[in-house]
């Protein structure tokens, strides 16, 4: 029963990683760049919810929707100001810019809200949801865990349908396959990439709400380590693949949680990265990644 509890908690943590990883994998798959500021957009979204819900007493759902709107605007602005001018620049320049934007967001948050951690009130509990008791009370699953897992599955399924069944989704696939050819066929590449950032940033706000509801401490560096681990999850599952981001996030969360429970809390992060190295040695493209042949 204890193993099952650890497993469910790991799936819940992995669901948060998967939501964050979806932002990474969509941006990389379509714009072919790594947005390392993505984790800090999670932090900004969490602060918006913290003040909207905690300080102003807004409804939990309204607070999350408002945070999604703020993060969407922030993500699109970052893409327009910081990344779009570097669209044809070497990948190293884009990478350095992304790291710079990440530190900029952290410093701005520190100036605005100070560096001391704030206690985050769970929006799931505030919404009136209760834990689920199974096996005559021997296994209790928190409301945060249930909501996180369900939200991740629904979002992943909706995102997959959006990409495969809608016109904007087809435009994303076209830009991902060949940006130049897509532009010649009338696809607005800039608008498509901006939409990708908008969706990824909105998902970051949801991930921040769920992350801080389960681990109720908020600071300007809250999104840093989850962002790195979500990037690992995206690579683990096959970066550029939406199902791969989902699978990689779930597996990463389960491995991390079981490592903490049965091996060592200090070594859990090292074990996660070791598993990633082993997987990439065996399958360099990740679990669901596809090998791409480049013509020269």
Strand segments, DSSP code E, in 91-207 are 118-119, 132-134, 139-141
Residue 30 lies in a domain: yes
Q: With bands split at pLDDT 50, 70 and 90, how would you rate the model's confidence at 279?
A: confident
Model-level pTM? 0.90
CA dist 287 and 182 (Å) reads 28
Q: Are strands 217-218 and 118-119 parallel, antiparallel or unpaired?
A: antiparallel
Query: Mean pLDDT over all residues of the chain?
Result: 88
Question: DSSP per residue over 83-100, as a string?
Answer: IGGGTTS-HHHHHHHHHH
Per residue in 12-25, pLDDT (tens digit) is 999 999 999 988 88
Residue 266 lies in a domain: no
Q: With bands split at pLDDT 50, 70 and 90, how would you rate the model's confidence at 267?
A: confident
Per residue in 195-223, pLDDT (tens digit) is 999 999 999 999 999 998 888 889 999 98
Number of residues that this document lists for the chain? 296
Per residue in 38-75, pLDDT (tens digit) is 999 999 999 999 999 877 888 888 999 999 999 999 99
Provide the token pair at 156.
């992943």
Neighbours of 101 (CB within 10 A): 20
Buried b (16+ CB within 10 A) or exposed e, 1-24: eeeebbebbbbbbbbbbbbbbbbb
How many separate domains does the chain show?
1
User: Taking residues 184-190, what's their average pLDDT?
Assistant: 89
Residue 248 lies in a domain: no
Distances (CA, A) of 65 to 40, 42, 202, 256: 18, 14, 9, 30
The answer to whether 201 and 41 are in contact (CB under 8 A) is: yes
Strand segments, DSSP code E, in 184-247 are 217-218
Residue 2 lies in a domain: no
Per residue in 156-183, pLDDT (tens digit) is 999 999 999 999 999 999 998 888 888 8
User: Taking residues 63-90, what's their average pLDDT?
Assistant: 92
Residue 175 lies in a domain: yes
Query: What phi, psi does 218 have (nearest 5°)?
Result: -130, 130
Q: With bands split at pLDDT 50, 70 and 90, how would you rate the model's confidence at 283?
A: confident
What's residue 77's pLDDT?
95
Question: DSSP per residue over 4-19, as a string?
Answer: HHHHHHHHHHHHHHHH
CA dist 140 and 129 (Å) reads 14
Residue 46 lies in a domain: yes
The answer to whether 241 and 162 are in contact (CB under 8 A) is: no
What is the percentage of the chain residues whose pLDDT exceeds 90? 46
Residue 36 lies in a domain: yes
Q: With bands split at pLDDT 50, 70 and 90, how would you rate the model's confidence at 296?
A: very low
pLDDT at residue 294 is higher than 60: no
Provide the token pair at 293.
């042949």
Residue 39 belongs to what domain range? 16-223
Residue 83 lies in a domain: yes
What's residue 242's pLDDT?
86
């Amino acid at each position: 029963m204890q193993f099952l509890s650890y497993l469910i908690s790991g799936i819940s943590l992995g669901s948060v990683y998967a939501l964050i990883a979806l932002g990474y994998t969509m941006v990389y798959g379509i714009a072919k760049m790594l947005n390392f500021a993505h984790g800090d957009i999670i932090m900004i979204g969490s602060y918006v919810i913290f003040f909207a819900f905690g300080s102003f007493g807004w409804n939990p759902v309204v607070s999350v929707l408002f945070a999604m709107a703020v993060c969407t605007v922030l993500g699109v602005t970052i893409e327009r100001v910081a990344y779009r001018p570097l669209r044809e620049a070497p990948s190293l320049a884009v990478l350095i810019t992304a790291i710079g934007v990440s530190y900029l967001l952290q410093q701005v948050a520190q100036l605005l809200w100070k560096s001391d951690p704030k206690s985050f009130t769970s929006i799931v509990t505030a919404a009136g949801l209760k834990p689920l008791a199974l096996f005559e009370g021997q296994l209790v699953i928190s409301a945060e865990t249930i909501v996180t897992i369900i939200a991740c599955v629904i979002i992943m399924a909706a995102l997959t349908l959006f990409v495969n069944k809608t016109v904007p989704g087809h435009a994303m696939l076209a830009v991902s396959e060949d940006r130049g050819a897509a532009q010649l066929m009338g696809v607005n590449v800039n608008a498509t990439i901006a939409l990708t950032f908008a969706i990824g940033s909105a998902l970051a706000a949801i991930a921040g709400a769920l992350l801080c509801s389960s681990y109720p401490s908020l600071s300007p560096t809250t999104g840093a380590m989850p962002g790195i681990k979500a990037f690992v999850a995206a690579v683990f599952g096959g970066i550029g693949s939406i199902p791969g981001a989902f699978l990689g996030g779930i597996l990463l969360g389960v491995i991390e949680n079981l490592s903490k429970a049965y091996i060592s809390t200090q070594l859990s992060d090292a074990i996660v990265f070791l598993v990633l190295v082993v997987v990439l040695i065996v399958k360099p493209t990740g679990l669901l990644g596809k090998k791409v042949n480049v013509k020269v």
